[in-house]
Amino acid sequence: MPQLFVQRLTLTDFRNYARLRLDVGPGAVVLTGANGAGKTNLLEAVSFLAPGRGLRGAKLPQVGRQGQTGSWGVNAVLSGPDGLTEIGTGLTASAPERRAVQINGHPAKGGAAIARQIGVVWLTPAMDRLFLDGPASRRKFLDRLVTAFDADQAGRIAAYDHAHRQRSRLLREEAGDAAWFAALEDTMARHGVALAAARADLVARLSRALAASAGPFPAASLKLVGAVDSWLAEMPAVDAEDKMRASLWDERRGILGAGAGPHRSDLGVAMIAPPLAGERHPSHGQPAALCSTGEQKALLISIVLAHARLQREKRGSAPVLLLDEIAAHLDAGRRAALFGELRALGAQAWMTGTDAGLFEDVGESARFFNVDQGAVMPPELRQ
């Protein structure tokens, strides 16, 4: 049984839900229904139990109930080794641009506060192009994994992005305040190298975990690609900070190729075939972008499962997994293998699909719900 799971989810004016209370258990949560019924909206609500703007990356005022903008709320009761924890988050009329967070009724500040309570990781159909899109998508994916593993990553990213935006504005305005530039670049160097080091630590751990996996899903060879990442592999972090400050100074002087930072890094991914396929598998060693769409999906699943195993070892509990339309593009063998991995992990996985039959092997502890335009009910109660 999972050691940490969402026991109750309550929504107020969230997407197509005016008001909803959903009581679930520690096993898988399977949401079925027609397209557009609101299944993914429920996963999105749970994704707000992580730092950031949720699995859709939506602007916060747009998350309010359909037909209106404004305040909305997500409340979750978590069950864990230390008992129950209540997390509330949402948008209020008094602060329409920043979502508020409360933990056990007390205000909490920063994404790290909520990330320390629960890890949440998701896979959505939009992420099927992760290996084909630009580096920004892969950085966001990696940073979500890092934040679920190391809650302080949220603060590092926020501090770096804030300083980076301010510095970019000064560059556009051609401001000449050298002291201001130096202060911002110092902030970028300190937080940028720290967040790059956290990425490197997780990538190294994931690479070892993936190399040791023996399941039906292909493993992945992971590598960070970027100037700061290369420096960290060659020298202490304090020296990498100095090199980054120098690179940012060179960018101000107009030197081509300067301005290094973790915002320019990429995550390189290559496929390692499953053990039974052997190295003669045609995609073995190929960059993920050149693999088939099915292989790319399997690679993503493999990375997320390896990350969940690592988090369970470090934090004592697997993250909550949000798997949108996960079963639709897997054959019967891989569906059964995925469900078996989830049971072995003890992870609470929220999964969606239009066909409940695809989830026959998910396990006896799974809770099934039909979703129909703002109403969520067990199948036996559906009219």
146 and 270: one domain? yes
Q: Give the integer Cα–Cα distance in Å for 369 and 20.
A: 13
Angle at 38 between CA 35 and CA 40, to 5 degrees: 85
Domain CATH number, residue 336: 3.40.50.300
* Domain membership flag for residue 132: no
* Domain membership flag for residue 44: yes
Q: β-strand 375-377 against 72-80: which pairing, if any?
A: unpaired
Task: Give me the pLDDT at residue 274, please.
Answer: 65
* Arithmetic mean of pLDDT over the chain: 90
Q: Give the integer Cα–Cα distance in Å for 45 and 159.
A: 25
Range of the domain at 246: 138-318
151 and 223: one domain? yes
Q: How many Å is the Cα radius of gyration of the chain?
A: 22
Instruction: Please determine, for residue 215, whether its predicted confidence score (pLDDT) is greater than 80.
Output: no
Instruction: Please determine, for residue 158, whether its predicted confidence score (pLDDT) is greater than 60.
Output: yes
Domains held by the chain: number: 2
Query: Could you read off the pLDDT of 118-127 as tens digits, one per residue?
Result: 999 999 999 9
DSSP secondary structure, 223-236, as one string: EEESHHHHHHHHS-
78 and 143: one domain? no
Task: Give me the pLDDT at residue 364, please.
Answer: 84
158 and 55: one domain? no
Q: β-strand 219-225 against 266-272: which pairing, if any?
A: antiparallel
**Confidence band (pLDDT; 50, 70, 90) for 27?**
confident
383 and 288: one domain? no
Instruction: Please determine, for residue 33, whether its predicted confidence score (pLDDT) is greater than 90.
Output: yes
Query: Could you read off the pLDDT of 37-72 as tens digits, one per residue?
Result: 999 999 999 999 999 999 999 988 889 987 666 789
* Domain membership flag for residue 133: no
Residue 326's identity, in one-letter code, is I
Task: Give me the pLDDT at residue 278, please.
Answer: 54
271 and 171: one domain? yes
13-22, 222-231, 360-369: which range is least confident on average?
A: 360-369
Domain boundary (283, 318, 353) is at 318
Query: Could you read off the pLDDT of 312-354 as tens digits, one per residue?
Result: 999 888 999 999 999 988 888 889 999 999 999 999 999 999 9
**Confidence band (pLDDT; 50, 70, 90) for 382?**
very low
DSSP secondary structure, 185-207, as one string: HHHHHHHHHHHHHHHHHHHHHHH
217 and 263: one domain? yes
Q: What is the dihedral of CA 76, 79, 84, 86, to 10 degrees?
A: -10
225 and 158: one domain? yes
193 and 308: one domain? yes
Domain CATH number, residue 305: 1.20.1050.90
Task: Give me the pLDDT at residue 281, please.
Answer: 67
Average pLDDT over residues 348-365: 92
Instruction: Please determine, for residue 139, whether its predicted confidence score (pLDDT) is greater than 50.
Output: yes
| CB burial of residue 106 (10 Å; 0-12, 13-18, 19+) | exposed
85 and 105: one domain? yes
Average pLDDT over residues 152-174: 94
Task: Give me the pLDDT at residue 69, please.
Answer: 65
Question: Hey, which bits of 226-272 come out as E strands?
Answer: 266-272
* Domain membership flag for residue 126: no
Other Cβ atoms less than 10 A from the Cβ of 74: the count is 24
205 and 64: one domain? no
The predicted model scores a pTM of 0.91
Query: Could you read off the pLDDT of 250-276 as tens digits, one per residue?
Result: 999 889 888 999 999 999 999 987 665
Residue length, the chain?
A: 383
